[in-house]
Amino acid sequence: MRIGTDIIEVGRIKKAMVKENFLNRLLLPSEIDYVKKFKNTEAHVAGFFSAKEAVMKALIDCKEIAFKDIEIFHDEHGAPFVKLYGKAKSVYETLNATDIQISISQTENYATAVCVIV
């Protein structure tokens, strides 16, 4: 079993969001569509950032994994789940893992996530 966790200040993401292409470097189109549905977009972007960082940490080999190698979805009940591509998928398969779970929380000031891979 592997566990990854991350926390980030929403303010840091808010500052980064003024940079051109920040969202496009961090998120896939489906994720951008999701976060833009919310009034507090930057808190949700921070949640996705934290979730992707937690997945990278759980996979250990995070230096070669790109943010876009990890896609965050939400099921019909709002629970997040992960789909992996590229290097992230390759590392996951090398671990002979059978499941990946993610939990994301955010407040006005912070976003945090935990990832468990078994």
* 78 CB burial (10 A radius; 0-12, 13-18, 19+): exposed
**Contact residues for 64 (Cβ-Cβ < 8 A; gap 6+):** 87
Domain ranges of the chain: 2-117
Q: Identify the pLDDT of residue 64.
A: 86
How far is residue 84 CA from its own chain's centroid? 11
Average pLDDT of the residues in 38-57: 97
pLDDT in tens, 70-93: 999 999 999 999 999 999 999 999
C-alpha distance from residue 88 to each of 52, 74, 78, 95 (Å): 10, 19, 24, 11
CATH code given to domain 2-117: 3.90.470.20
